[in-house]
Amino acid sequence: MSKRTLNEIANAIIGGYRGVLAADESTATIGKRFAMFGVDNNEENRRAYRELLVTTKDAADHVGGVIFCEETLGQRTKDGRTFIELLQEEGVAAGIKVDKGIQPMPFAPGESITEGLDGLRQRLDGYAKRGVEFAKWRAVIDIAPGLPSDLCLRANAEALARYAALCQEAGIVPIVAPEVLMDGDHGLDRCYEISRHTLAFVFEALYEHRVALEGILLKPNMVIPGKKARDQSTTEDIADATVRLMKQSVPPAVPGIVFLSGGQSEAEATANLNAINVRHKNLPWKLSFSYGRALQQSALRAWSGKAANVQAGQSAFALRAKLNALAARGAYSPAMEP
């Protein structure tokens, strides 16, 4: 597939100030979220919940792509349509998480590496034949005393670049997702420095692997202090530091940056995205969202596993999608929150 076609797919996903719904939680992760609301973690409940999300009326106005896990990719709605078919009818791209999760790095205490490259070329070819247009691979970088090491950053950047090259070979747009975690007690400046270092390794590796930057989407963390930090930064400081990082680190050839929420609450993630777009104009990339929990928590709470609550769950999801789309254009206000 040509660079131009990959670029067109990437731009279509985030066109019209739309973002990406990350509905690719592992069975264990979705189980933890279900448990908060007393929902049994079985296949039918997982299928019913994802159907609630993808059949939400008018969601396509605000969400241009949905990332699935392997299980959900093959599931169907009650009327027999696959989720991919349903999304295609709405003009929404179907995506797939292709990494196999993180594992401890040998001889690197406290650090991890994302696995899943074995057999990836064959898997991607199969996904493309089923109508998948984009994929996601997440690298996880933790901040702690003396960490991360260059070994960790280099290894994860190499894996991200190999994944991205294989995706483009298969005609699939890769979402490149290096996540610097907001756990810990580090401050804003420390997050900035580690994020800058991380992105430097990532883009060096992408260049070395001949990845067409016009045909990717970047999914980074915002620059945010750790959850345990004594001083928590303002929304304005987070926005300014995040955009400064992007200007220093991300080539203008990249069509879009879809931020991850990374443990922020729904309202925090929306407010920070809005501040980024209000305070900074005329940037070379579209700045939008690729949220999981920060798009779903209200919907999951409203649904709580009950068929009678499907409409309530969809209303909650539709609102969060709309608010984040408004934030992507800098038009959100906290007064819009329920």
Catalytically active residues are 219
| Residue 119, both tokens | 């057999």
Q: What is the DSSP-derived secondary structure letter of residue 234? A: P
| Residue 142, both tokens | 């933790």
β-partners of residue 147 are 144
Q: What is the DSSP-derived secondary structure letter of residue 144? A: B
Q: Tell me how many helices (H) and strands (E) the chain has.
A: 12, 10
Count of C-beta atoms within a 10 Å radius of residue 284 = 13
- The type of residue at 175 is I
- The type of residue at 107 is F
User: Using CA atoms, how far apart are residues 294 and 310, in angstroms rounded to an integer?
Assistant: 19
Contact status, residue 238 vs residue 226, Cβ threshold 8 Å: no
User: Using CA atoms, how far apart are residues 104 and 107, in angstroms rounded to an integer?
Assistant: 9
CA dihedral 70, 323, 262, 39 (to 10 degrees): -50
Q: What is the DSSP-derived secondary structure letter of residue 94? A: E
Percent helix, strand and coil across the chain, each to the nearest 5:
50, 15, 35
> Can you tell me which residue has the tokens 């190499």?
158
